[in-house]
Amino acid sequence: MSTLSTEILTSEVLVLNKLWQVVSVCSVRRALCLLYLRHAQVVLKKGGSFYTFGFEDWRDFSQNRSKDSEILRTITYKIRIPRVILLLVYDRFPPRRVKFTRKNIYKRDENTCQYCGRKFKSQDLNLDHVVPLSRQGKDSWKNVVCSCVSCNLRKGNKTLTEAGMSLIRTPKRPHWRSLVRYTLDNVVEESWKDFLDLAYWNVELEQDEK
């Protein structure tokens, strides 16, 4: 498989539940599997309206497409890359509590070192415990922040006071709404915007923790 094909298969597809609400993103590879297994349909906006396609219909529709960047070719046919899919049986609502994961910490901190304030690519960032684990610090939203390599080495196993450093903002648990806002601001797929904008304005807000 070529590098280009691998990149396409790992690129992101927006996932809607059966109520047309944004619930997650998945890879193109996963989206095509769901489509083939008839667990999902492709959503396509055309002329201000939205249309859905099952696997066979989407495959037939793809035959008239010619842009290489939008097409995956198999031995017997070609298929257009889906950008939005609709799950046919999943009707759960979008999550209200954000999972504590490396990816979501990067999103919360906007790939910005929370000590020096510079923005980096994800692969050039570390996660740092504001209060070190050896000082009874915890793995929590309020104690883990993005840190560049330089700041991470400077702080080491010290407290902020000992290192003579400070945070550019106080870390806290993000709301799902705020991460949708981040995704909306950074989205490169035009076809996502209708659904992300709707998700941003309509998701129920959580109250701040006491």
pLDDT in tens, 70-94: 788 777 888 889 999 999 987 776 6
Q: Which of 109, 177, 199 is nearest to 146 (CA)?
A: 109
Quote the pTM value.
0.58
For 148-180, the pLDDT digits (tens) are: 999 999 999 999 999 999 999 999 988 766 666
Mean pLDDT across the stretch 192-199? 73
Break the chain into its structural domains and give their ranges: 3-87, 102-163
Q: How far is it, in rounded angstroms, from Cα 140 to Cα 84?
A: 32
Instruction: Say yes or no to pLDDT of 3 above 50.
Output: no
pLDDT at 198 over 60: yes
Determine the distance from the C-alpha atom of residue 58 to the mean position of all C-alpha atoms in its chain, rounded to a whole number.
25
Whole-angstrom Cα distance, residue 53 to residue 41? Answer: 5
Q: What is the 3-state secondary structure (H, E, C) of 96-142?
A: CECCCCHHHHHHHCCCECCCCCCECCHHHEEEEECCCHHHCCCCCCC
The fold for domain 102-163 equals DNA Binding (I), subunit A (1.10.30)
Burial classification of residue 104, based on how many CB atoms lie within 10 Å of its CB (0-12 exposed, 13-18 middle, 19 or more buried):
middle
Give the span between the Cα atoms of 22 and 95, in whole angstroms: 10
Helix (H) or strand (E) holding 27: strand 22-27
Confidence band for 196, pLDDT divided at 50, 70 and 90: confident
SS3 call for 91 = coil
Of 54-68, 126-140, 187-201, where does the model show the most confidence? Answer: 126-140
Per-residue pLDDT tens for 99-158?
788 888 998 998 999 999 999 998 899 999 999 999 999 999 999 999 999 999 999 999
Residue 97, pLDDT > 90, answer no
Please tell me the predicted confidence (pLDDT) of residue 183. 63
- Residue 126 in contact with residue 159, Cβ under 8 Å? no
